[in-house]
Amino acid sequence: MTAVDAIAFDLDGTLINSVPDVRAAINRLLVSEGRAEITLDQTLSLVGQGARVMMEQAMSLGGEAPPADALDRMVETYIGFYRRHPADLTTIYPGVVEVLDSLAARGVRMAICSNKPYVMTKLVLETLGLDHYFDAVTGGDNVPHRKPDGRHVTHTLD
């Protein structure tokens, strides 16, 4: 077996299921904007490209996409809602803690490479008690390139 010095993980959909909390925050925003709530399946189709794209697509599901200046405000509002409830409904996938414990015991350095905003990534990790495993954390807003661009992973590993 080849020795591994470091591993970078994605967070959402890899280590945790955060979709229920993401949905709750999106729906709080949509209701505040007079729009209809979205389903869990619709939320699943929106995640992965960062908060701005997600907000634009969520708003488009219930009508026209907002102008750029309104979208900026909506992203900040969404993040505020999410920050207040980062992991009420989020679950850690079975076996994840055991794998992280095993890797840590072997001295493997670990990192998170997520498109979720950095502040929210850190907050979710802390709330779930996973933050102590990771030597580095990058979000979609604190690096010059976001996934799927491979430079996001390279930057995280560096």
Nearest Cα neighbor of 14 from 114, 82, 84, 88 is 114
DSSP state of 131: G
The span from the CA of 94 to the CA of 119, in Å, is 25
The residues, ordered by sequence, that sit 6+ positions from 15 with a Cβ below 8 Å of its Cβ are 9, 92, 93, 96, 130
Nearest Cα neighbor of 27 from 18, 39, 17, 16 is 39
Nearest Cα neighbor of 30 from 56, 50, 59 is 59
What is the set of active-site residues? Answer: 10
The residues, ordered by sequence, that sit 6+ positions from 108 with a Cβ below 8 Å of its Cβ are 4, 5, 6, 7
The span from the CA of 95 to the CA of 69, in Å, is 43
